[in-house]
Amino acid sequence: MRKTGTGGLVYSTEGGRMCPACRHPVDACVCNAAGAAPQGDGVVRVSRETKGRGGKAVTVVRGVTLDAAAAAALGKRLRTACGSGGTVKDGTIEVQGDHCERVMDTLRKEGWVVKRAGG
């Protein structure tokens, strides 16, 4: 582990992801900034992306203002509705494949305000 002249953490393999505010591992964060729900305008945006994925399409859901556990549960429900895999990371939900309409319908049924983003 190296530290810069200002004392900031450059790289560490000990704890995995680090909280940007308190510099502790996310699992042991003392300030809870990493687990806080992101602030938004109340609109969930659904888009389709292929960049950096070898041409494979991924449906991306942004703007969900939930904590990490609730976002993971919502991601699970969306993946089940689409019958595909995916992940929840950095405040976004990714569902493998082009399932924008199906995801939007599922979110509307759960009471979210949904918009299609992108093309």
pLDDT of residue 24: 76
Flag whether pLDDT at 52 surpasses 90. Answer: no
59/108 same-domain check: yes
pLDDT of residue 37: 52
Closest to 107 in 3D by CA, of 65, 50, 57: 65
pTM of the shown model = 0.67
What range does the domain containing 31 cover? 1-36
57/88 same-domain check: yes
Domain count within the chain: 2
30/68 same-domain check: no
28/74 same-domain check: no
73/53 same-domain check: yes
User: Which residues lie closer than 8 Å to 18 by C-beta, 6 or more apart?
Assistant: 9, 12, 24, 25, 26
14/60 same-domain check: no
pLDDT of residue 34: 47
23/52 same-domain check: no
